[in-house]
Amino acid sequence: MAEDAWSHETLYPYHRQSLRIDRLLYDSKTEHQRIQVFENARFGRVLTLDGVVQTTEGDEFIYHEMMAHVPILAHGAVRRVLIIGGGDGGMAREVLRHQSVEHVTMVEIDAGVVSFCREYLPTLSDGAFDDPRLRLVIADGAAYVAEAEESFDVILVDSTDPIGPGEVLFTDTFYGRARERLAEGGILVTQNGVPFLQPDELTGTLRAMSALFRAATCYLATVPTYAGGPMAFGWGTDGPGRQTDVETLRTRYSDAGLACRYYTPEVHLAAFALPGYVRQLFP
């Protein structure tokens, strides 16, 4: 590795970001994608898939806390959770912090992602793969929701961007089938990138969500690695979760025994206050 090596992310044609590779730990191409893990002095260990940053030890807690705890605490009685993607184990880690959650099914298309993350990014999963409540399924997430019969209180689509293996997880067909897997009052949350740089991604999800759910919107969180402004999480439910007040959230947060680094009940509510340019992306 050259002394001044950098990882250049070229996800967008008009914008790129670079992270210095202080030490390359892993570089391999699987059947589905090229996987790299390297160390960076500020962000710690960094995972990239096909050159696109997926997560870093330094700021992963923001993404994982906000995707997991917002729907679980808004719902208030979550027992069964489905995670689509999330091979690094960070999402499962946060979901399993809720002792009220009895069962988590995690569907990851690439077994290689899971195995190397357990070896090279163990702090992300932090033992989640050994929790008896977790069932890991190596399969295509879209095929799984089409064929599964069980229902879930919360479904988290912790996908890559809509290119390559992740593309099928952004279709109307997938959202419709995910809706069928939700129990009464269940909540579907999706990863929808950075709206300032990926506006069509959010608009497409919101269009599909609006046709499927009585309450369809998104909420935001600022993750430094995902440059270009706050990132969006799509939200769809027929239940009352979106109207959960701050006092109820504080009680549920306390009862869960959580001590988060980013999520708070106040941040939870504020995340649904959308700036004008995001509002304009609603269909």
Please give the pLDDT value at position 172.
81
Q: Do residues 15 and 131 share a domain? A: no
Instruction: Tell me if 204 sits within 8 A of 191, measured CB to CB.
Output: no
Q: For residue 99, what are the contacts with CB-CB under 8 A and spacing of at least 6?
A: 256, 257
Q: Do residues 164 and 51 share a domain? A: no
In the annotation, is 158 catalytic? yes
Give the range of the structural domain holding residue 129, as residue numbers without chain letter. 60-279
Q: Do residues 167 and 256 share a domain? A: yes
Q: What's the mean pLDDT when you consider all of the chain? A: 92
Which CATH number covers residue 36?
Answer: 2.30.140.10
Summarize the chain as % helix, strand, coil (round to 5): 35, 30, 35
Q: Do residues 48 and 175 share a domain? A: no
Please give the pLDDT value at position 207.
92
Please give the pLDDT value at position 173.
84
Q: Do residues 242 and 145 share a domain? A: yes
Total count of domains within the chain: 2
Residue in 59, 110, 153, 158 annotated catalytic = 158
Please give the pLDDT value at position 182.
97
Q: Do residues 141 and 186 share a domain? A: yes
- The span from the CA of 261 to the CA of 64, in Å, is 11
Q: Following DSSP, what letter does each residue of 192-254 receive, concatenated?
A: ---TTT-HHHHHHHHHHHHHH-SEEEEEEE--TTS-SS-EEEEEEESSSGGG--HHHHHHHHH
Q: Do residues 129 and 234 share a domain? A: yes
Q: Do residues 153 and 82 share a domain? A: yes
Domain assignment of residue 1, yes or no = no
Q: Do residues 133 and 105 share a domain? A: yes
Q: Do residues 118 and 174 share a domain? A: yes
pLDDT digits (tens, 9 = 90+) for 235-265: 999 999 999 999 999 999 999 999 999 999 9
Q: Do residues 44 and 178 share a domain? A: no
pTM: 0.93
Q: Do residues 26 and 65 share a domain? A: no
pLDDT digits (tens, 9 = 90+) for 129-185: 999 999 999 999 999 999 999 999 999 999 865 444 444 555 788 899 999 999 999
Q: Is 65 helix (H, G, I), strand (E, B) or coil?
A: helix
Which CATH number covers residue 120?
Answer: 3.40.50.150
Per-residue b or e along 95-123, where b marks 16 or more CB atoms closer than 10 Å to that residue's CB = bbbbeebeebbbbbbbebbbebbbebbee
Domain assignment of residue 52, yes or no = yes
